[in-house]
């Protein structure tokens, strides 16, 4: 990795963080006192606030686990012991403590540190993460590999109560409880995912860190076990354990986890270093599955984040570290695609009582919070449970409603079987609003929506479309709800649109019909979705190079507008496809397949995302890297049109 840090910058860090700057690996934490560990946690929190204020990134979760992370690395022996962070957006303090302090200013920057744990970045990152509910499964695999190899290292999974709403977490716990392998699961309970948690599990995870009755009983029971062990033997000790189990069942969610085969401990205060260190030392001495329930506050130590946790889940940076106020100059902004979608859906749903809205713990990210506020009786947040969300939508459709499931492209991958088996196979009228389709910038490969056109292209009965601007998104949503009877997917990018004029009325789009954006007769640029604006920019450069490009927005992947392809072939000698999706199996593949069958002599070329996982960085950096910037596209197309490619 490139050296981003100058000597003066290192000196400033040492002055601002006297204890933390001396921590080069977790081994340096072993010799510190509890008071010093608390100071390290405070300095870590300060450093995270400073870093995110400058470069942006995930925020509230890292602040909430500062003490827990310091205590973990004080007690456990990373990287020999394996620590797996669920999602990984809360691992900034972990990165600071594992030798990356000086490089953290490059976090999420192009060619800098990743915003999530990454094994290729550090031996202390035990597992690549980015999606929720995976940590316990990964920890189970690491633990069984240890057992089979005859090793003795410890394995820890840290999972939030938001991620615990995902079914995969319970599948893993059910398995671990059966095989009884030594794994510690730390439940980081802050009552939040990105937005406040929903569902029965939230109500079961009772916040009891300061419950005096429970804590007095717990202390009495542990003292009794020690006494009885010395004087009365195993029978009385077993009796007291049963009493303890009864107390847990009455005051805590422990009985639920113990029914899965885990020994439950807690809840404890996740900001009390003494309690954390003591509990983790106890956990390390046990050799079976156990769960430590830790209560934390998301955004701890930064008042704006504590007061508005959903807003401060992540930040784009550029805020004052004292007040949280945005320091960036206000600019007239174009509406974001997700906002256009959310507003349009509310407009339609206020007139149509059969429209329902579904999210998987992303009401604000998908702008379904607008629907939630306007029509709460028809809004459903199912938690981080994408598979359930799709089949739940299928049931709603059979019941006569029009379910709209808004979800990020990268997370719809988790419910692919349900899309095929539960929706498309039955030809049900479910609308998938696929947000963050294409590259997403600094969040990187775990969050890029690089594959949805490819994996949806293969699904029968499914109509797939992508708007080239904001008004097209409004019209496509209307079309999906009222002009098509089966399943529909609408994919649109992250962030602001092109600034298209928005009309109050909705205009239906004939399924499978594209539109001509620019007339031309030399080379045809066939595009879809977010690449419409990029094709227009490229066409201007091609015109300056002496070409007269035809630009067509096909709008639909399925059914594809074959008449428009035929027209392009009749006018132009060269056909170019452009898409912000994997080059394999998507829009370009569909066009190429049609050309091979019907126009085998025409020359064609496809541009899209490479057969590789694209790194993190600014959108323009990434577009240049994958060759989807207008400059690179125009150069390649000129070469192609002149027979040089």
CATH of the domain at 586: 3.40.50.920
In a domain, 534, yes or no: yes
pLDDT at res. 479: 98
Q: Do 519 and 487 belong together in one domain?
A: no
Catalytic residue among 67, 103, 386, 442: 386
Q: Is residue 414 annotated as part of the catalytic site, yes or no?
A: yes
Q: pLDDT higher for 369 or 18?
A: 369
Structural domain includes residue 237: no
DSSP assignment of 324-360: --B-SPP---PPBHHHHHHHHHHHHHHH-TTEEEEES
Asked if 296 and 192 sit in the same domain, the reply is yes
- Verify that 15 and 131 share a domain, yes or no: yes
What percentage of the chain exceeds 90 in pLDDT?
A: 76
- Tell me the pLDDT of the chain averaged across its residues: 90
| 301 lies in the same domain as 450 | no
Question: What does the pLDDT average to over 469-473?
Answer: 97
Same domain, 65 and 190: yes
Is the pLDDT higher at 203 or at 147?
147
Phi/psi region, residue 532 (left: phi>0; alpha: psi -120 to 50; beta: rest), is alpha
- Residues 348, 301, single domain; the answer is no
Q: Quote the domain boundaries for residue 561.
A: 515-641
Of 101-110, 220-229, 356-365, 521-530, the least confident: 220-229
Poorest-confidence range of 116-120, 173-177, 261-265, 641-645?
641-645
Determine the average pLDDT of the residues in 456-482.
98
pLDDT band at 256 (very low <50, low <70, confident <90, very high): confident
259 in a structural domain:
yes
Assess whether 480 and 542 both reside in one domain.
Answer: no
Q: Which of 2-11, 52-61, 112-121 has the lowest mean pLDDT?
A: 2-11
Answer yes or no: is 190 within a domain.
Answer: yes
| pLDDT at residue 202, rounded to an integer | 52
Tell me if 329 is assigned to some domain.
no
* CATH code where residue 280 lies: 3.40.50.970
Q: Is 90 exceeded by the pLDDT of residue 314?
A: no
Q: pLDDT band for position 8 (50/70/90)? A: low
Which range among 31-45, 217-231, 402-416, 626-640 shows the weakest confidence by mean pLDDT?
Answer: 217-231
Q: Is residue 293 part of a domain?
A: yes
The pLDDT value given to residue 309? 80
User: Based on the domain organization, do 46 and 192 belong to the same domain?
Assistant: yes
Q: What's the number of domains the chain is made of?
A: 3
* pLDDT above 60 (res 237): no
Of residues 108, 154, 298, 402, which has the active-site annotation?
Answer: 298
442 and 526, same domain (yes or no): no
Reported as a single tens digit per residue, the pLDDT across 523-544 is 999 999 999 999 999 999 999 9
Looking at the fold, whether 412 and 300 belong to one and the same domain comes out as no
430 and 551 part of one domain: no
15 and 153 share a domain? yes
In the annotation, is 219 catalytic?
no
Give the active site residue among 414, 494, 555, 558.
414
Cβ contacts of 289 within 8 Å, gap of 6 or more: 173, 176, 177, 180, 181, 182, 183, 185, 261, 262, 263
Alpha-carbon distance of 254 to 277, in angstroms, equals 21
The yes-or-no answer on residue 513 being catalytic is: no
pLDDT, mean of residues 197-223: 52
């Amino acid at each position: 990795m490139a050296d981003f840090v100058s000597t003066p910058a290192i000196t400033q860090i040492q002055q601002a963080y006297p204890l933390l700057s001396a921590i080069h690996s977790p081994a340096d934490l072993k010799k510190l006192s509890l008071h010093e560990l608390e100071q390290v946690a405070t300095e870590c929190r300060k450093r995270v606030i400073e870093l995110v204020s400058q470069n942006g990134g995930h925020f509230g979760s890292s602040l909430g686990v500062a003490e827990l992370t310091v205590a973990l690395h004080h007690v456990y022996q990373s990287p020999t012991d394996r620590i797996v962070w669920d999602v990984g957006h809360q691992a900034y303090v972990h990165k600071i403590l594992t030798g990356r302090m000086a490089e953290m200013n490059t976090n999420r920057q192009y060619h800098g540190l990743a915003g999530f744990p990454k094994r290729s970045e550090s031996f202390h990152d035990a597992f690549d993460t980015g999606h929720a509910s995976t940590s316990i499964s990964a920890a189970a695999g690491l633990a069984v590999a240890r057992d089979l190899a005859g090793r003795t290292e410890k394995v820890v999974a840290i999972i939030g109560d938001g991620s615990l709403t995902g079914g995969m977490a319970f599948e893993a716990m059910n398995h671990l409880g059966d095989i009884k392998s030594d794994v510690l699961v730390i439940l980081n309970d802050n009552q939040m995912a990105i937005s406040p948690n929903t569902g029965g599990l939230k109500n079961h995870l009772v916040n009891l860190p300061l419950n005096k009755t429970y804590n007095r009983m717990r202390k009495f029971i542990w003292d009794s076990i020690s006494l009885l062990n010395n004087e009365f033997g195993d029978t009385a000790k077993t009796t007291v354990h049963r009493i303890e189990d009864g107390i847990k069942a009455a005051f805590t969610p422990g009985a639920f986890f113990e029914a899965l085969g885990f020994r439950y401990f807690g809840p404890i205060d996740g900001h009390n270093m003494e309690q954390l260190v003591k509990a983790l030392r106890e956990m390390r001495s046990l050799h079976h599955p156990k769960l430590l329930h830790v209560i934390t506050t998301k955004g701890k130590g930064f008042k704006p984040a504590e007061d508005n946790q959903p807003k401060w889940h992540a930040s784009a940076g550029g805020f004052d570290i004292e007040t949280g106020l945005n320091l960036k100059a206000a600019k007239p902004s174009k509406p974001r695609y997700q906002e256009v979608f959310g507003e349009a859906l509310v407009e339609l749903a206020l007139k149509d009582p059969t429209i329902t809205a579904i999210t998987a713990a992303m009401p604000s990210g998908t702008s379904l919070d607008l629907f939630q506020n306007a029509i709460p009786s028809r809004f459903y947040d199912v938690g981080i449970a994408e598979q359930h969300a799709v089949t739940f939508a299928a049931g709603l459709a059979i019941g006569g409603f029009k379910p709209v499931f808004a979800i990020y492209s990268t997370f719809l991958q988790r419910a692919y079987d349900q899309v095929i088996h539960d929706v498309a196979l039955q030809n049900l009228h479910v609308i998938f609003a696929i947000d963050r389709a294409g590259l997403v910038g600094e969040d990187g490969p775990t969050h890029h929506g690089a594959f949805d056109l490819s994996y949806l292209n293969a699904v029968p009965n499914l109509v797939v479309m992508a708007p080239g601007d904001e008004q097209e998104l409004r019209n496509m949503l209307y079309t999906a709800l009222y002009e098509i009877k089966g399943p529909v997917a609408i994919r649109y990018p992250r962030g602001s649109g092109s600034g298209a004029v928005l009309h109050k009325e909705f205009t239906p789009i004939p399924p499978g019909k594209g539109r001509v954006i620019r007339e031309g007769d030399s080379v045809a640029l066939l595009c879809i979705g977010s690449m419409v604006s990029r094709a227009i920019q490229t066409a201007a450069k091609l015109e300056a190079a002496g070409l007269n490009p035809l630009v067509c927005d096909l709008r639909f992947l399925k059914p594809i507008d074959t008449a428009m392809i035929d027209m392009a072939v009749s006018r132009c000698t060269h056909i170019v496809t452009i898409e912000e999706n994997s080059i394999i199996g998507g829009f370009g593949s569909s066009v190429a397949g049609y050309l091979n069958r019907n126009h085998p002599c025409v020359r064609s070329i496809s541009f899209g995302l490479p057969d590789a996982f694209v790194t993190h960085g600014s959108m323009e950096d990434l577009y240049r890297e994958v060759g989807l910037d207008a400059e690179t596209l125009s150069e390649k197309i000129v070469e192609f049109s002149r027979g040089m490619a």
